[in-house]
Amino acid sequence: MKRIYNNINLEKRNSFGVKQEARTLVEFDTAEELKSYLEEAKPSKWYVLGAGNNTLFTADYDGVLFAPTASSRTILEDDGESVVVRVEAAHDWDEFVAWSVDNGLWGIENLSAIPSSVGAAPVQNIGAYGAEVKDAITAIDYFDVDKMEVVRIKCEECGFGYRESVFKHELRGVAIILAVEFKLHRTPTPNLGYGDVIKEVEARGGATLKNIREAICAIRASKLPDPKVLGNAGSFFKNPIVPRIVAERLLNEYPSMPCYTVPNRDDVMKLAAGWLIDQSGLKGYREGHVGVHDRQALVLVNHGGATGGEMLHFAEFVCSVVKGKFGVEIAPEVNIL
């Protein structure tokens, strides 16, 4: 059933807990309901709001927010070794990860405890601990607002990169994701490239799906604040990718600086934004209602009562301090409206 809300307070619909309003919010279950609203209302400005875990509202939204509500999960194929499953956009991401682990299916266990809806996951190409969601996606169904029809796009057409996808560029303002198709496997393929993950997994008895998920959930819980308690969106900033010559210069000055290779690129390196912020003396730093989390410098938090504008101003301050100390530009990972 289609549900329309006017002048709705978004405080409970965004993980930062900012009290902005939207002129209109439309919940829809099916593509037909979405199409009927678009044909009738013809909104000139719209945005898709999933679980609200990666969006910062800096002002009242004067357009239409679309909120998908369908959340079913359907197994399409199972050949004994691999399983293809279709998951609708509103399905909670971590519940899907938990289901895959409970059913002995490998491929997304390293993405445990990431707050997101399934529909939002490919937009950012969510990733953690050496894994990215693109590696498990086979296809995506979305509603094309220009064509006014459902379109199916294969993984290789999605333009996936580090926190990037075609949905943030060519299909921005065009596509509303309805469902994502994944291929998961029963053959064990543990991805333990991070030291803290290895340590936690070994402490639990070895690299089983259950142990990996529990280890990653424990690590994230120890570092990241619960948005139900302290407003945040997890990592606020992307890890910057810089020319190799810049990374080597910084390594000469800061030998302990974390630095990572980028697949299929020899000319660049990835730096750790959290380390840069920490070394800039900002971990735990606070201005008014907004601050850098005291355990994870990638996370900006709303201590209560902050506006979206205050959050954005503070983020710009953090970027300027890092740029001043290291000459490196960091950029937000969250969507800013």
Q: Give catalytic residue positions.
A: 163, 235, 333
Give the length of the chain: 337
> Which tokens in the block code for residue 247?
């990374």
Strands 21-28 and 61-68, how do they pair?
A: parallel
The residue among 239, 186, 195, 196 whose CA lies nearest residue 218 is 196
Longest dimension (CA), the chain: 61
Cβ contact 78:86 at 8 Å? no
Beta bridge partners of 110: none
Comparing C-alpha atoms, which of 163, 167, 96 is closest to residue 127? 163
- For CA atoms 132, 134, 135, 137, give the dihedral sign: positive
Report the distance separating Cα 19 and Cα 289, nearest Å. 13
Of residues 46, 54, 207, 184, the one with CA closest to residue 116: 54
Eight-state DSSP code of residue 241: E
The 8-class DSSP code of residue 239 comes to P
CA torsion, points 146, 137, 94, 166, in degrees to nearest 10?
Answer: -40
> Side by side, which strands form the sheet with 241-243?
241-243, 265-271, 259-262
Secondary structure (3-state) at 99: helix
Q: Give the whole-angstrom CA distance, residue 40 versus residue 32.
A: 12
Contact 37, 14 (CB under 8 A): no
